[in-house]
Amino acid sequence: FEQLSEALKTIKDKKRYVVLRIDEDVRYEKIVKLLDALQAENLNNLSLITNKNKDER
């Protein structure tokens, strides 16, 4: 996450949209950590896209 935090700091347009694609295998703690990093850089235009359950595909 350290590399990600550094990359987020380089984004100048704070109104830029951020889209996260998340599936059921991603641990909740990682999502929270990512959301915290985005919020710390005032990147608040966020969309979450989830994949359907593998059994429903």
Please report the pLDDT score of residue 55 as a whole number: 63
Question: Model's pTM, two decimal places?
Answer: 0.76
Please report the pLDDT score of residue 31 as a whole number: 92
The DSSP call for residue 53 is P
Task: Say whether 48 sits in a helix, a strand or coil.
Answer: strand
CA distance 18 to 11: 11
Has residue 39 got a pLDDT over 60?
A: yes
Average pLDDT across the chain, whole number: 88
Percentage of the chain exceeding pLDDT 90: 51
Select from 20, 3, 11 the least CA-distant residue to 42.
11
Residue type, 24: E
47's tokens: 């969309």
28's tokens: 């909740």
Please report the pLDDT score of residue 57 as a whole number: 52
